[in-house]
Amino acid sequence: MVIAHLRFDNPDGSSKDWIIRRTSDGFATEWGRTGKALQSKNFPGKNFSNVDAEIQRRISEKYKKGYQDVVSSAPDDPAMKAVKKRVEQEAKAEAQKKAEKELAKISKIDSVFSNWF
């Protein structure tokens, strides 16, 4: 069963797909240029303490890299919602940290200038 089909659109107009499927004994991924034959790899469940957590981790990594949903077999699936929510929260936290660093720089500059006047 396909859990997620994600696509990354390159600036040059090309795109690449990444698909993850749950198998009876683990999961499998497929990847490659959109419209071309995809490469694939099987991951036996015995190699992971928690297969579902590993699937979520890999999907999360792809979202962070800029991949977008093409198909999700279960968009209302709590696991998929949890992954998306976590990625959104991580992105917000990262943006907040960046904003705080910039604000700290401005505060330092402001304090230097206030000493001059």
Those residues with Cβ within 8 angstroms of residue 65's Cβ, 6 or more apart along the chain or in another chain = 8
Q: Which amino acid is at 115?
A: N
87 in Cβ contact with 60 (< 8 Å): yes
Per DSSP (E only), the strands in 10-93 are: 15-23, 26-33, 39-44, 68-71
pLDDT tens digits for range 22-64 = 888 999 999 999 989 999 999 999 999 999 899 999 999 999 9
To the question of domain 2-116 being in CATH 2.20.140.10, the answer is yes
Mean pLDDT computed over every residue of the chain: 83
pLDDT tens digits for range 60-77 = 999 999 999 886 555 565
- Write down the pLDDT at residue 68: 92
Which residue carries 């200038």 as its tokens?
113
The first and second tokens of residue 32, run together, are 């490659």
Indicate the pTM of the whole model.
0.62
Which residue carries 């190699």 as its tokens?
47
What average pLDDT does the segment 98-111 reach? 81
Domain boundaries, the chain: 2-116
